[in-house]
Amino acid sequence: MSNTSTEYDAVINTCRGLFIKKTHDYGTAWRILRPASITDQIFIKAQRIRTLEEKKVSKVDEDITSEYIGIVNYCVMAMLQLECGPETPVELPADEVSVLYDEKVKETKDLMLAKNHDYGEAWRDMRISSLTDLILMKILRVKQIEDNKGLTLASEGIKANYQDMLNYAVFALIKLNP
C-alpha cells in the first residue's frame, strides 16, 4: 500500500504543479464555469482518451497522459465549485487555491486508500482502457444526477463520483508511467 501512496503522490505532484502554473497564468477563470460545464470538460477529455485508445492516431499534439492530468485537475475544480457558494469571488489568490487543491486531493486520496484496502488493489490488474470506461460511466452518472437537480434515491452524490474519476485517472497515470 505504501508503494501506491508514493506513486499516487508523485502523480498528484505533477498534476498540482500544472494546475498551480495555470492558476498563475490564467487566474481562476474556471470559477465562472457551472458544475455541469466542468462535467462536460471531463467528458471531452475522457472521450478523447477513448478515441485515441481505439484509433491510435492523434491530430492534436496532446497525448493520453496530458488528458488524464486534465481529468484530475478538472475533478478538483469540480469539487471546489461544489463547495464554493455564490459569495465566493471568481478570482481566488493562487496560495488559497493551492491550499484548497491540497484539501480536495487529501480527501480523495483517503477515500482511495480505504477502497484500495477493501478491493485489494484490483486496479493494478485492470487495463487502462477499462479505467477510461469507468471514468466515462461516472461522467454519465454525474450528468444524470445533475439533470435530477442533485437528488439521488440510493446512489452516491456528485462529489463521490468526481473523487472516483480522479482516482481512476491517477491509477491510469501510474500505469502509464511505471
How far CA 123 is from CA of 120, 171, 178, in Å, comes to 8, 7, 14
Look at residue 1 and tell me whether its pLDDT is greater than 70.
no
The per-residue pLDDT for range 60-89, each reduced to its tens digit, is 767 899 999 999 999 999 999 999 877 888
The per-residue pLDDT for range 121-154, each reduced to its tens digit, is 999 999 999 999 999 999 999 999 999 988 888 8
pLDDT bracket for residue 46 (50, 70, 90): very high
d(CA 71, CA 167): 10
d(CA 174, CA 178): 6
From the list 35, 53, 36, the residue with the least C-alpha distance to 132 is 53
Percent of residues in the chain assigned helix, strand, coil, to nearest 5: 80, 0, 20
Mean predicted confidence (pLDDT) in 5-11: 96
pTM: 0.93
Look at residue 2 and tell me whether its pLDDT is greater than 60.
no
pLDDT for the residue numbered 159: 95
Q: Return the residue matching grid coordinates 474556471.
A: 30
pLDDT bracket for residue 55 (50, 70, 90): confident
Q: Count how many residues are written for the chain.
A: 178
Percent of the chain scoring above 70 in pLDDT: 96
Query: Mean pLDDT score of the chain, rounded to an integer?
Result: 93
pLDDT for the residue numbered 150: 83
